[in-house]
Amino acid sequence: MKFQLRASAIALSLWMFSSGQMSAAQPQDNGQSTPKAQTRLPAIARTPGVFDPNSLQKSNGLWFEGDLLYWKSSMGSLDYGVESNSKSSVHHGHVKQPHFDWNWGGRLGLGYKLPHDKWDLFVNYTYVHGQAHGDAGDSNRVVFPSFATRAKRGGPSSFYAHSAKAHWHMNLNMADIELGRCCFAGTWLRIRPFIGVRGLVIDQDYNVEYRGGTVAPRDVDKVRMDTDYWGAGIRMGVDTLWGLGRGFSVYGNGSASLLSADFDVHAHEKLKKNGICKINLKRDVDTAVVTADLALGLQWDYLFSRDRYHVGIKLGWEFDIFFDQNQLFNFVGNQSGAIHTRNDDLTFQGVTLGFRFDF
C-alpha cells in the first residue's frame, strides 16, 4: 500500500511538472511582437534544477563513465594467532590480525539512452585489489597459532611459535548491467531506479608462516589457503541527484544484489625444511550471497556546444559489503578431527573520483 502511494505521488509530480513545462512552452499573446532572434543562455541557467540526460540536443545518446577508486578492503576472521609473553598460557595476550592497506582500483562504464520512453542501458566493470600484512612474536613474546596443526597426536601441552607472519591479498572483478530510467520528483530532485544483473569473481590467498617453538622446532610451518569465488544474480537499486544550483548537486546511490555463488576452498600446510605435509584439504560450497553498495558525494554538471555534449565530475565516498566471503578453514584440530569455518564478510570503503561524458 505504501509503495502504491509513493508511486502515485511520483506519477502525479511528473504529470504536474510536464504540464507546467508544456504550458510554459506555449507562446503568449501579450500584444507585443516576439523578437525573431533571442540570445541563447547556458543550459544550466536556462533550465534550473539538476542535470537531465534526456535534455541533450542532437546527441548520439551515448555516455562514458570512468571512476578512480582509492579504497581500503577488509576481511573478517583472519586472526592468525594470539601473542603472549607466556609460553604456557594464552589467557593473557593480544589477538593478532593482518593490517589492511589502502589500494587503487578502477571502474569503467558505457551507457546508451534507448529510444523508448527515456529508458537507458548501462554496462560497467570494476576492478579492486586488496592486501594486508601482519607479524607477531619477538625475543620476549610467543605466538599461539590459529591455523597451524600438530604433526602428530599428543605432543607438548603448550603449542606455540616464536614468531609468525601473515599475508593476505585479494582481486575483485565485477561486471554490472543496468536497465534504468531517469525521472523527476520535482525540479531539484532526479531519481533513477534500475534493475539488472551482476557477475562477480573474487580470488583470495592467505599465507601464514609460524617459525620455531613447539609448532616447528628449528623449522618453518607454512599454511597456504586460497578461495576462488564466482557468482551471478539479480541486482536492484536507485540513483538520486539532489540539486544545489549552479550545476552542483549531491548524489546518493544504493543497490543490493542476490547472487548464486560457488566457492572453491583449498588449505595446505607443510614444514618447509623437512617437507612434511601436515594437511591438504579441499572444500566446495554452493550457496547464495548478498551484496550491498552505498555511495554519497558531490557532483558538478555542465552542458556545452548548444547542449549537445555534457561533462560531469563527482567526488564521493563509497561503502560496499559482500557477505559470507570468508570460507577459509580456521582452527583445524586433528585431536578431535574437527574443522571450523567462519562465514565472515568482505568490505570496501573509500574515495571515488568520477568523470562522465555524454555525446
> What span, in angstroms and rounded, lies between the C-alpha atoms of 223 and 209?
6
Average pLDDT rounded to a whole number, residues 265-273: 91
Is 227 inside any structural domain? yes
Is 112 inside any structural domain? yes
Q: 220: closest CA among 169, 167, 165, 157?
A: 165
Residue 202 has pLDDT above 90, yes or no: yes
Number of domain units in the chain: 1
CATH no. for residue 74?
2.40.128.100
pLDDT of residue 337: 55
pLDDT of residue 126: 98
> What span, in angstroms and rounded, lies between the C-alpha atoms of 95 and 311?
49
Is 300 inside any structural domain? yes
Is 270 inside any structural domain? yes
Reported as a single tens digit per residue, the pLDDT across 98-147 is: 999 999 999 999 999 998 889 999 999 999 999 999 999 888 899 999 88
DSSP letter (8 states) at residue 273 = T
Is 258 inside any structural domain? yes
Quickly count: other Cβ atoms within 10 Å of residue 241's Cβ. Answer: 24
Query: Mean pLDDT lowest for which of 130-139, 318-327, 340-349?
Result: 340-349
SS3 of 5, please?
Answer: helix
- Mean pLDDT of all residues in the chain? 85
The reported pTM is 0.79
Confidence of residue 156 (pLDDT cuts 50, 70, 90): low
Is 7 inside any structural domain? no
pLDDT of residue 31: 42
Domain extent for 215:
54-358
